[in-house]
Amino acid sequence: MRRIVLSSSEVEQRWCCAHRNSSDDSPKCFILLIIFACSLGPFFFCNVTKTRWLQIGTTIARWVSIILMSSIAIARIIEFPEVPRLDHHQLPTYMSLLNTPVRPNPPIANFAKLPSAFGVCVYSFMCHHSLPGIITPISNKRRLFVTIMLPVYLIIFACYLLLSGTAVAAFDYIHDLYTLNFVPTSDPSLRPGWLLLLADYFLALYPVFALSSSFPVIGTTLTNNLRSLFLLLPSARRGRLVVRWGVPFLALVPPILFSMAVNDVGELVGITGAFGGSGIMYIFPGVLVFYARKALMIKVQSLTLNDESVAGDQPGVIVVNPYRSPFSHSLWLILVILWAISCLFIVILNKFSVL
């Protein structure tokens, strides 16, 4: 939204100095943040349950964005035979879609950026977030991996490969937020036709649409989880009204304050992806699976002992879970936890400029 409200030259100047002094940011950005918080904050105080049409609209917007970004990038690549190749990296000015594209010359490998990739790549595992919604309604879960999970993962991999491949080949400089490569230019003489200009504005505003749809749902989920934790305390049961209206502020205020303090999207993605994302994607699921298997084993053993006491001398029936995962061995849990620790260790070393 900031890229649309501010002029291109002003945005570029503020983006370049954002990592040096966040106080230089325009008051317009603060006003937009307040409008965003006041518009979506009330959803934190109520349960967002009827999200079918919201999810459908967001899914359509995501697919349209993927198709538009890939198509525009491919169109830029087709024009490159008429553009000379650069001998060194240049930071291009804000250009609009297909106008005077700079032919990129990316390096084959840049290992200096490898630690930052650990934090960014965690977001690619957000595809796991949609799997429960796909698997739960299915009654017959046999051959689920071949019929559902494998095709879903292949489609996700193809989308990531298409976006990343066309981006590297089409743009000499890729912003931390890829849609910012399609920001409309402020020069009227360089603007394309109305159709491409409409696509330009849609891609620039797409993060606003996606965030506006996911922020209330995720915030409501976090609020309900925090309420459940607070209600476990004996003293909180006497102050249910305080928990009811005070806990939503704990979920709403920190991200708003954090967004005021941090303007660098790459830094924001790296921190939240490396630390928060590793906990959400690796540590919490690993601990949850460990204790769930432990509780299931105790329950199975108690059922087996009851069967043996009823049957007398007959041997108990061995219960086998037909939906057991091929990764049911404890070694996989250990590998997941070790992978999370190694990712955090590398990111911390990178933050302190050790790597």
> What pLDDT digit, counting tens, does each position of 24-55 carry?
556 777 888 888 888 888 888 876 655 667 77
pTM of the model: 0.62
pLDDT band at 12 (very low <50, low <70, confident <90, very high): very low
Per-residue pLDDT tens for 88-107? 344 344 344 444 456 677 77
What DSSP line would sit under 75-97, residue for residue? HHHHHGGGSPBPSS--------T
DSSP three-state, residue 46? coil
Kindly indicate the confidence band of residue 335, based on its pLDDT and cuts at 50, 70 and 90.
Answer: very high
**pLDDT tens sequence across 61-90:** 888 888 988 988 888 888 765 544 443 344
Query: Which is higher by pLDDT, 101 or 263?
Result: 263
Of residues 187 and 121, the one with the higher pLDDT is 121
| Residue 128 near residue 281 (C-beta atoms within 8 A) | yes
Share the mean pLDDT of the chain: 73
Q: Tokens standing for 352? A: 């302190």
Task: Give the end-to-end CA distance of the chain in Å, rounded to a whole number.
Answer: 34
Give the pLDDT confidence score for residue 334 in this predicted structure: 92
pLDDT of residue 59: 79
Nearest 5°: the CA angle 303, 306, 308 is 110
Which pLDDT score is estimated for 16?
41
- Could you tell me which residues come within 8 angstroms of residue 86 by beta carbon, excluding any fewer than 6 positions away? 102, 103, 104, 105, 172
Six token digits for residue 138: 């299915």
pLDDT for 19 equals 42
Number of alpha helices (DSSP H) and beta strands (DSSP E) in the chain: 14, 0
Q: Which of 271, 74, 241, 93 is nearest to 169 (CA)?
A: 74
How far is residue 101's CA from residue 169's CA, in Å, rounded to a whole number? Answer: 11
Q: What is the dihedral of CA 53, 155, 97, 109, to 10 degrees?
A: 140
- What residue type is assigned to position 18 of the chain? A
Task: Count CA within 13 A, CB hemisphere, residue 26.
Answer: 17
Amino acid at 144: L
Q: 282 is written with which tokens?
A: 């690796």
Task: Identify which of 70, 78, 76 has the alpha carbon closest to the alpha carbon of residue 92.
Answer: 76
Backbone angles phi and psi of 136, in degrees to 5: -55, -45
Band (pLDDT 50/70/90 cuts) for residue 189 is: low
Task: Report the share of the chain in percent with pLDDT over 90.
Answer: 2
Q: According to the model, what pLDDT value does residue 85 have?
A: 43
Q: What residue type is assigned to position 207 of the chain?
A: P
Q: Bridge-partner residues for 103, per DSSP?
A: 85
